[in-house]
């Protein structure tokens, strides 16, 4: 290939190396998981992620913007919610698109909950997504008075919430929170609203797809996967 030799990653087991550099951002999680399974020291894995999240994930952002345009055009009522906020990039984007709506942000802000990790379904590093905080996310939000932070374990953090929703993002990766998110938000989704489920077809988080299958089969709900880098599935009413 272009004069360069191509080797299988399996040679790392018998190779003396300083670092492994991952330069393909869209499969960074899966590649990292495979390297860890092979016994590569986490400290020797270096990743280069694209600085512009919207350009890296432009298909999902474009699809969300398009769906939100229909929400505006059809005057669909309801607020916004995101379960699995991480550092707040998508939350900020959603709030900018619907500046007149409240946005509920559900997250531990400390990585995966140990309760959810008990299912042993993560094919990779379970310690990810800890490099965030409520303050970090709030600094990115365009209209802070519209933001309602729900810090802690979902669905406990949804107790007492009676709002309806026009747009919901589920990016919690694991079976339990994804299923719980669908159980909570789908009945509260306005007709014409949307639920985006990120990492639906992820090899690292297979429980996400199973949760969607189980909920949709049980309640006769349809979904559509889109060809974005985050393997998103979309549910609407």
Mark whether 36 and 61 lie in a shared domain.
no
Residue 2 pLDDT? 62
Mark whether 33 and 60 lie in a shared domain.
no
Q: Residue 66 domain-assigned?
A: yes
Q: Residue 229 domain-assigned?
A: yes
Residue 230 pLDDT? 76
Return the structure tokens found at 192.
Answer: 């014409």
Mark whether 66 and 103 lie in a shared domain.
yes
Q: Residue 98 domain-assigned?
A: yes
- For the cut 60, the answer to whether the pLDDT of residue 160 exceeds it is yes
Mark whether 124 and 208 lie in a shared domain.
yes
Mark whether 153 and 213 lie in a shared domain.
yes
Per-range mean pLDDT, top range of 113-122, 153-162, 202-211:
153-162
Mark whether 161 and 192 lie in a shared domain.
yes
Q: Residue 162 domain-assigned?
A: yes
Average pLDDT of the residues in 160-180: 96
Q: What is the mean pLDDT of the chain?
A: 88
Mark whether 61 and 40 lie in a shared domain.
no
- For the cut 70, the answer to whether the pLDDT of residue 116 exceeds it is no
Mark whether 90 and 43 lie in a shared domain.
no
How far is CA 160 from each of CA 79, 92, 101, 134, 144, rounded to the nearest angstrom? 15, 25, 19, 21, 22
Q: Residue 212 domain-assigned?
A: yes
CB atoms within 10 A of CB 224: 9
Give dist(CA 3, CA 141) in Å, integer: 48
Mark whether 31 and 131 lie in a shared domain.
no
Q: How confident is the model at residue 37 (pLDDT cuts 50, 70, 90)?
A: confident
Mark whether 131 and 74 lie in a shared domain.
yes
Q: Residue 2 domain-assigned?
A: no
- For the cut 70, the answer to whether the pLDDT of residue 126 exceeds it is no
Mark whether 169 and 217 lie in a shared domain.
yes
Query: Which CATH number covers residue 24?
Result: 3.40.50.720
Mark whether 127 and 165 lie in a shared domain.
yes
Residue 224 pLDDT? 97
Q: Which of 17, 12, 23 shows the shortest CA–CA distance to 47?
A: 23
pLDDT in tens, 56-71: 678 899 999 999 999 9
Residue 48 pLDDT? 65
Quote the domain boundaries for residue 112. Answer: 54-236
Angle between helices 175-185 and 206-219 (to 10 degrees): 30
Q: State how many domains the chain has.
A: 2
Q: Residue 3 domain-assigned?
A: no
Q: Which of 210, 218, 220, 219 shows the shortest CA–CA distance to 233?
A: 210
Interacting residues of 50 by C-beta distance below 8 A, sequence separation 6+: 25, 56
Query: Which CATH number covers residue 216?
Result: 3.40.50.150
Give dist(CA 205, CA 175) in Å, integer: 8
Whether 173 contacts 181, CB under 8 Å = no
pLDDT in tens, 171-220: 999 999 999 999 999 999 999 999 999 999 988 889 999 999 999 999 99
Q: How confident is the model at residue 109 (pLDDT cuts 50, 70, 90)?
A: very high
Q: Residue 4 domain-assigned?
A: no
Interacting residues of 229 by C-beta distance below 8 A, sequence separation 6+: 26, 56, 57, 59, 60
């Amino acid at each position: 290939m272009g004069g360069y030799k191509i080797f299988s990653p399996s040679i790392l087991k018998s190779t003396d190396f300083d670092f492994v550099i991952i330069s393909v951002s869209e499969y960074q999680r899966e590649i990292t998981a495979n390297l860890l399974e092979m016994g590569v020291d986490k400290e020797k894995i270096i990743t280069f992620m694209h600085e512009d999240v919207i350009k890296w994930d432009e298909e999902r952002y474009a699809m969300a913007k398009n769906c939100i345009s229909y929400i505006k055009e059809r005057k669909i009522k309801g607020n916004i919610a995101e379960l699995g906020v991480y550092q707040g990039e998508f939350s900020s984007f959603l709030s900018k698109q619907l500046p007149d709506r409240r946005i509920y942000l559900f997250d531990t802000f400390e990585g995966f909950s140990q309760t959810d990790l008990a299912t042993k379904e993560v094919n990779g590093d379970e310690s990810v997504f800890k490099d965030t905080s409520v303050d970090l996310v709030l600094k990115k939000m365009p209209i802070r008075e519209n933001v309602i932070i729900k810090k802690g374990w979902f669905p406990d953090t949804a107790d007492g919430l009676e709002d309806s929703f026009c747009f919901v993002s589920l990016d919690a990766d694991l079976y339990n929170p994804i299923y719980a998110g669908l159980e909570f938000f789908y009945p509260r989704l306005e007709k014409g609203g949307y639920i985006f489920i990120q990492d639906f077809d992820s090899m690292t988080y297979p429980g996400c797809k199973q949760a969607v299958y189980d909920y949709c089969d049980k309640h006769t709900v349809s979904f559509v996967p889109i060809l974005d880098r985050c393997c998103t599935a979309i549910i609407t009413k």
